[in-house]
Structure 1
Amino acid sequence: MASSATGLTRIINAAGYSLAGLRAAFRNEAAFRQELLLVALAVPLACWLGDTGIERALMIGAVGSVLVVELLNSAVESVVDRIGPEHHELAGRAKDLGSAAVLVCLLLAAVVWGLVLLG
């Protein structure tokens, strides 16, 4: 559905949709809540442990990206679930790929933190 909103109205509407998405993720996705807790703990820790602004930005960006990928994974899962409850190879593959993306992002975050803290 096309919107005729422009300028500031469009930005305000987009912000509202984004906040609704964050609320939905928090209410309906246990993994998102767990990763949000991880980020809430990791950001102050990164500010304390990072020696430079670059290190702190890398550490915060790495854990923050986990939330982004989890939101995209949740969106894929929601669309697949909306299509139908019956098992389909492609639906299963889509969900598995989304889950794999979250895992890769978590591993990347661990590598970034390890390199900053140990390197």
Structure 2
Amino acid sequence: MRNQPKYNFFKNTTYALKGLKDLLKTESSFKIELLIVILLIPIIIFIDTTITNKLIMFITLMLMPLMEALNSAIERVVDLVTLKHHDMAGRAKDAGSTAVFFSIVIFVVSWSTILFNL
């Protein structure tokens, strides 16, 4: 049996906003990436390129804070299970960090390709 309440769109939105608030309060990397998102959204809006390129730019930009949020979730669950150093705990955290790293690489490569080919 799952420990999960019945689905409710408004309640689930509340949970999401609660998570966002917590990430903004406690995760400096997330705050930095969200600032990057806020600063770069106008570029997507005003740049003279195809709608497909704009969509790629938006998706790859949003991928960074998404991966950071997932990485934070992994780190918190690992810390909940054990605060002692354990090889598997470290590997789980490293895998989350790798996802963040790849999202940044995807962002940089896609934006560079689009911006340098205008």
Residue number in structure 2 paired with 1:2: 4
Unaligned 5+ segments in structure 1 are none
Shift of 1:50: 4.4
1:80 aligns with 2:78: yes
> Structure 1 vs Structure 2: percent identity of aligned residues?
33
Distance 1:44 1:79, change over 3 A: same
Q: Which residue of 1 aligns with 2:63?
A: 65
TM-score (norm. length: structure 1)? 0.91
TM-superposition CA deviations, 1:10-59 (whole Å, max 9, x none): 11111011111111111110000000001011111122224121111111
Superposition pairs of residues 39-58 of structure 1, within 5 angstroms: 39-58=37-56
Match of 1:33 in 2: 31
Q: TM-score under structure 2 normalisation?
A: 0.92
Q: CA RMSD in A?
A: 1.2
Structure 2 residue runs without a partner (length 5+): none
Deviation at 1:2, TM superposition (A): 3.3
> Could you tell me which of 9, 12, 15 is aligned with 1:14?
12
Aligned length: 115
Question: Residue type matched to 2:21 in 1?
Answer: R
Shift >2 Å, 4+ stretches: none
Aligned partner letter, 1:44: P
